[in-house]
Amino acid sequence: MQMRFDGRLGFPGGFVDTQDNSLEEGLNRELREELGEAAAAFRVERTDYRSSHTGSGPRVVAHFYAKRLTLEQLLAVEAGATRAKDHGLEVLGLVRVPLYTLRDGVGGLPTFLENSFIGSAREQLLEAVLHGPMETKMRTLVLGREGRVWECFLIGPER
User: For the chain, what are the domain ranges?
Assistant: 2-96
Q: Read off the pLDDT of residues 23-79 as tens digits, 9 standing for 90 and up.
A: 999 999 999 999 999 999 999 999 999 888 887 777 788 899 988 888 899 999 999
The candidate with the shortest Cα–Cα distance to 108, out of 150, 79, 137, 77, is 150
CATH of domain 2-96: 3.90.79.10
Cα angle 78, 109, 135 (rounded to 5 degrees) comes to 65
pTM, two decimals, is 0.77
Pick left, alpha or beta for residue 146 (phi over 0 → left; psi -120 to 50 → alpha; otherwise beta). left
Q: Is the dihedral of CA 39, 125, 154, 98 positive or negative?
A: positive
CA 39 to chain centre: 13
d(CA 47, CA 94): 24
